[in-house]
Amino acid sequence: MVPRTARAMALLAVLLMVAVPATSFGSLAWGNGSSTSVEFTDFGLHDITCDIALRTATYTSPELLTWMTDWYIRNETDYGYSFDGDNDWTGPTSTDNINAYTDDPDSYWKDWDNHTLYLHPRNGWDPAEGDAARRVSQLYNQTVDHIYGWLMNWSVRYDTDQHYAAYYGGLMAHYLMDITQFGHTDWTRLDHSNPPDHDPQGATYHSYYEARTWTDNALRHAHMDLMSNPLPDVERVSDPAQVVRELAEFVNGRHGPDVQFDDIDLNTVTLGSTYVLMLETFVANWDSGVTFKGARGYDPNLWNLTQENLVAGMWNLTNLWTSAYLDAQEMFEKDAADIVIERVDIWPGEGVYEGQGVTLDIFIANRGSTPTGTFEMALFIDDEMIEVLTLNNDLQPGESSNLGGDLWVAVAG
């Protein structure tokens, strides 16, 4: 999916170093933040985009995202494995929360094949095109399964299933947003070569673009730009893998047909038009010292192109999150117990005087597909709750029961 309209939002600068043949990996990237940053300690663009996407979607669809927002703490994150089962039933901590989960693919899982989706693979590559689509689809299904488990457990806050659902939703954010970096949608020797003149960190153009050029000043601009613009309305997702593929196609080639590119290793390769435009722009800007909003290598056009990618990624992320809940809810409605009140008998039904005893019989039934287990029933009179009954009737599907025989005292009115 791509947004129906281009939005002027902020930039993306992303993520970790791409997995390619004969390419080494950095253990720290601005995509996840830096421990040495004063203003954005371990809070990089993976955290920023997840944070703003979640809060934006919550404005319009809060009921669909409780399973995530219960595990959200604003501006809290870490670097390293973040899921702690000891926090089941107690809630999020500064190192176990939605934003903290977004770095785990880099800091813990390190499954580099899942961070890319090369649209023009070449013979001899393993994997030929990357597995981001498969990984996002896998995490989506795991998220749905745990939301379903949480719903079946009466949506108890902080339970184990809700915790896992939030974790997988946070992981999903990383793999999807990796694809908003054009260098994760195709591979060239130029992108993965070191600048010949200005190479202060001994890194590649790819690494500078997505990580090493990012100062606190650049992150501040990106954060402010993102905060000032809304995302498009959420849409239902039917195929998570296709969402990733369509996002990659948007990032890689929305400026026209594929082009033939003469790489620096003298090979001519097929690439997407947007990939070539962004790569050549960044390389030229980096080599000539062009800086925009605190990020060397960027100019206004590249900044805008990158933020268009980010908008598309964040929008698709909110679509995946909300759709995961809707999928789980449909499963829950099909499988869950469904307690209905068949009738209520009051005796005597008429001619009652104030202070007289009245017998109340309540007949209930389970119209759902699973046993009810223990449940609670609230009794209301004139919209005022007067009693909550804890019921141990484990009604099987199709079974009925009479709760009755309760004696009440009639009052005037």
Nearest to 237 by CA among 225, 227, 226, 246: 246
**211 with 349, same domain?**
no
For residues 147 and 151, give the distance between their C-alpha atoms in angstroms, rounded to a whole number. 6
CATH number (domain holding residue 61): 1.10.575
**257 with 309, same domain?**
yes
**351 with 222, same domain?**
no
pLDDT of 285: 99
Q: Is residue 131 one of the residues assigned to a domain?
A: yes
Local confidence pLDDT in tens for the 413 residues of the chain: 755 433 333 333 333 333 333 333 322 333 555 666 666 656 688 999 999 999 999 998 999 999 999 999 987 777 889 999 999 999 999 999 999 999 999 999 999 989 999 999 887 776 677 899 999 999 999 999 999 999 998 899 999 999 999 999 999 999 999 999 999 999 999 999 999 999 999 999 999 999 899 888 998 999 899 888 889 999 999 999 999 999 999 999 999 999 999 999 999 999 999 999 999 999 999 999 999 999 999 999 999 999 999 999 999 999 999 999 999 999 998 887 677 788 888 777 676 667 777 787 788 888 777 787 777 777 666 667 667 777 777 888 888 888 766 655 555 55
Which residues are registered as beta bridge partners of 346? 360
Domain boundary among 335, 361, 376: 335
**343 with 299, same domain?**
no
Q: What Cα–Cα distance (Å) separates residue 325 from each residue in 92, 147, 158, 329?
A: 20, 7, 16, 6
pLDDT of 9: 33
Read off φ and ψ for residue 308, nearest 5 degrees: -60, -40
Domain boundary among 291, 311, 335: 335
Residue-range definition of the domain harbouring residue 226: 45-335
**252 with 304, same domain?**
yes
pLDDT of 42: 65
Domain boundary among 335, 359, 390: 335
pLDDT of 364: 83
For residues 245 and 251, give the distance between their C-alpha atoms in angstroms, rounded to a whole number. 10
Can you tell me which residue has the tokens 């019989």? Answer: 361
Domains contained in the chain, number = 2
pLDDT of 257: 98
Q: Is residue 155 one of the residues assigned to a domain?
A: yes
Q: What Cα–Cα distance (Å) separates residue 56 from each residue in 52, 226, 307?
A: 6, 10, 16
**329 with 375, same domain?**
no
pLDDT of 13: 31
Q: Is residue 5 one of the residues assigned to a domain?
A: no
Q: Which amino acid is at 270?
A: T
